[in-house]
Chain A
Amino acid sequence: MTTLINIELYKIFKKWRTYISFIAVTLLVLLIQLAISISGRDATRGLTGQLSNSFVMVGNLLNAYFVSYLILNFVIVNVPFLIVLVAGDMLAGEATAGTYRVLLTRPVSRFQVVLSKFLSSLIYSYLLILWLAVLSIVLGIVLFGTGELIVLQKGLIIFAKDDIIWRFILAYFMAGLSMSTVAALAFFFSSLVENAIGPIITALAIIIVFTIISAVPIDFFQVIKPYLFTNYMFSWRLFFDGTLNYVEIIKSVSVLLAHIVVLFGITAYIFEKKDILS
Chain B
Amino acid sequence: MNEEKVIEILGLTKKFKSLTAVNDLDLTVYKGDVFGFLGPNGAGKSTTIRMMLSLISPTSGTIKIFGKSLISERNEILKRVGAIVEKPDFYKTLTAYKNLSILGRLSMGEVSRKKIMEMLELVGLDKRYKSKVKTFSHGMKQRLGIAQALLHDPDLIVLDEPTTGLDPQGMKEIRDLLILLSREKGKTIFLSSHILSEIEIVANRMIILDKGKKVVEGKVGELLNKNKLKVTFEVNDINSAKNILDNTVWKDKIYSSIDNKMVFILEPENISSLNKYFVENNVAVSAVIPTRSLEEYFLNITDKSK
Residues of A participating in the B interface, judged by any CB pair closer than 8 Å: 3-4, 7, 10-11, 14-16, 97-109, 273, 275-277
Contact = CB atoms under 8 A, between A and B. Distances in A.
Contact of A97 (B55, B85, B92, B105): B92
Contacts of A97: 89, 91-92
A7 B105 contact: yes
Contacts of B148: 102
Contacts of A107: 74-79, 106-107
A102 B89 contact: yes
B89 A106 contact: no
Contacts of A98: 87, 89
B102 A10 contact: yes
Contact of A7 (B77, B85, B106, B109): B106
Contact of B53 (A4, A105, A275): A105
B93 A108 contact: no
Interface in B45-91: 50, 53-57, 74-79, 81, 83, 85-91
A101 B50 CA distance: 9
B94 interface: yes
B254 interface: no
B82 to A, nearest CB: 9
A106 B107 contact: yes
Specify which of A15, A101, A104 lies most central, judged by the most chain B CB atoms within 10 Å of its CB. A101
Contacts of A108: 75, 106
B103 interface: yes
B79 to A, nearest CB: 4
B87 A109 contact: no
Interface residues of B, number: 31
A105 B86 CA distance: 13
B103 A106 contact: yes
Contact of A102 (B76, B79, B90): B90
B50 A14 contact: no
Given A3-B105, A105-B85, 13 more contacts: A7-B106, A14-B94, A97-B89, A98-B87, A99-B89, A99-B91, A106-B106, A107-B76, A107-B77, A107-B78, A109-B75, A275-B55, A275-B57
Nearest to A277: B56
Interface in B95-135: 102-103, 105-107, 109
Contact of B89 (A4, A101, A277): A101
Taking each of B50, B86, B102, which has the highest tally of chain A beta carbons within 10 Å of its own beta carbon?
B102
Nearest to A276: B55
19 contacts: A7-B102, A7-B106, A14-B94, A97-B91, A97-B92, A101-B89, A102-B89, A102-B103, A104-B55, A105-B53, A105-B55, A105-B78, A105-B83, A106-B103, A108-B75, A275-B56, A275-B57, A276-B50, A276-B56
B257 to A, nearest CB: 49
Nearest to A11: B91
Contacts of B76: 107
A109 B74 contact: yes
Contacts of A102: 88-90, 103, 148
A109 B87 CA distance: 23
B85 A101 contact: yes
A194 B142 CA distance: 23
A100 B53 CA distance: 12
Given A102-B103, A102-B148, A14 B91 contact: yes
A104 B57 CA distance: 13
A105 B88 CA distance: 13
Nearest to A97: B89
A98 B93 CA distance: 14
**Taking each of B86, B89, B94, which has the highest tally of chain A beta carbons within 10 Å of its own beta carbon?**
B89
Nearest to A4: B106
Contacts of A277: 50, 56
Contact of A15 (B87, B93, B105): B93
B240 to A, nearest CB: 60
A105 B56 contact: no
Q: Which 3 A-B pairs have the closest CB atoms?
A: A98-B89, A275-B56, A106-B106
A103 to B, nearest CB: 7
B162 to A, nearest CB: 13
Contacts of B103: 102-103, 106
Contacts of B107: 106-107
Chain B CB within 10 A, most for which of A102, A104, A276? A102
A103 B89 CA distance: 10
Nearest to B89: A98
A277 B102 CA distance: 22
A7 B100 CA distance: 12
A227 B117 CA distance: 54
B197 to A, nearest CB: 26
A176 to B, nearest CB: 27
Contact of B86 (A15, A16, A101): A101
Nearest to B79: A107
B66 to A, nearest CB: 13
A106 B90 contact: no
A128 B85 CA distance: 36
A191 to B, nearest CB: 15
